[in-house]
Amino acid sequence: MASDPFHLFDEWSAEARRSEINDPEAMALATADASGRPSVRTVLLKSHGPDGFVFYTNRESDKARQLAENPQAALLLHWKSLRRQVRIEGRIDLVTDKQSDDYFASRSRDSQLGAWASNQSRPLDRRETFETRFEEMRSRFDGDDVPRPPHWGGYRVIPDRIEFWSDRPHRLHERRLFTRSGDDWIEGLLFP
Residues annotated as catalytic (active site), given as ranges: 171
The Cα 190–Cα 175 span in angstroms is 5
Give me the count of residues in the chain: 192
The Cα 48–Cα 57 span in angstroms is 16
The Cα 62–Cα 165 span in angstroms is 29
The Cα 4–Cα 13 span in angstroms is 14
